[in-house]
Amino acid sequence: MSSLRNAVYRRAHKERSQPQSRKKYGLLEKHKDYVVRAKAFHKKEDALRVTLIPFLLEDAKEMQLRTSKVGKVPVFEDVSFVIYLPGRMPKRCSASYRELEARKDRVNDLEKLYMDMAMQKELQKKGRKRKLREDEIVCPTSKPVYKWRPDRKR
């Protein structure tokens, strides 16, 4: 009877609800939902592992063709061998290097454009400036070089 009397004053614990600010992310996943989802995932993973290992052992080339269409290679932690696609790896690397080179070139072009625009903006401002002659230029370039006369700061 005393346990019932004590139970009246105890707080009823409820599962946390989804906060209002996180409603846009969908339902709050409870622990029991996560456990069910994780078990289902591992069950499917084991089934895939069991069905794909014989294919890998039979003919690795056939598996390469299958996975190369998708563009992914299945990863097995418990399999002692590794599938390596020798033809695709250099292609991916070279494509990455081409993209990197293109980005570097674009950055250089944008920097040059920015410098030209900054020079034009400075030339439009008020102030005493003159174009240097070719014999005055330290590093000759194809573009004109200007020199600003110092103004007295007040």
Rounded to whole angstroms, the Cα distance separating 147 from 129 reads 6
If one compares 121 and 11, the residue with the highest pLDDT of the two is: 121
pTM over 0.85: no
How many secondary structure helices (H) and strands (E) does the chain include? 4, 2
If one compares 74 and 113, the residue with the highest pLDDT of the two is: 113
Asked if residue 81 has pLDDT above 50, the reply is no
